[in-house]
Amino acid sequence: QKEVEQNSGPLSVPEGAIASLNCTYSDRVSQSFFWYRQYSGKSPELIMSIYSNGDKEDGRFTAQLNKASQYVSLLIRDSQPSDSATYLCAVKNFGNEKLTFGTGTRLTIIP
């Protein structure tokens, strides 16, 4: 079992709709959770971090964390073509600075 799992996609969403990206992790001591966006040929860009159960909102983005079920999700409201990218989920465990990345979900917003 991979430590961090994501559906590779591609996930296609109509412009203006909500895009929902999911990530599950295997280690119960995972402490911090991050979502990165990576455009083709570019470097990963941090868009959200979340540390405690519940929702965290930042503009059109909402991160949701459920530690009991070991999943974290990212919602993108009012999806725009510029949101088309690969989204990487990353997990940090307690006492360790390393991030473990999922393989990413490729999101395409259809105009």
Partner 1 sequence: DAGVIQSPRHEVTEMGQEVTLRCKPISGHDYLFWYRQTMMRGLELLIYFNNNVPIDDSGMPEDRFSAKMPNASFSTLKIQPSEPRDSAVYFCASSSSWTSGRPKPYEQYFGPGTRLTVT
- Minimum CB separation of residue 17 from partner 1 in Å reads 27
Q: Specify whether the CB–CB gap between 21 and 6 falls below 8 A.
A: yes
Among 20, 101, 106, 108, interactor with partner 1 by CB under 8 A: 101
**Per the structure block, which two tokens stand in for 2?**
């991979």
Query: 13 vs 50, which CB is nearer to partner 1?
Result: 50
Is 7 an interacting residue with respect to partner 1 (CB under 8 A)? no
**Choices 35-43, 52-60, 62-70, 76-84 (CB under 8 A): range interacting with partner 1:** 35-43
- Minimum CB separation of residue 92 from partner 1 in Å reads 6
Pairing assessment for the beta strands 105-110 and 11-14 based on DSSP bridges: parallel
Task: Tell me 98's DSSP state.
Answer: -
- Give SS3 for 64: strand
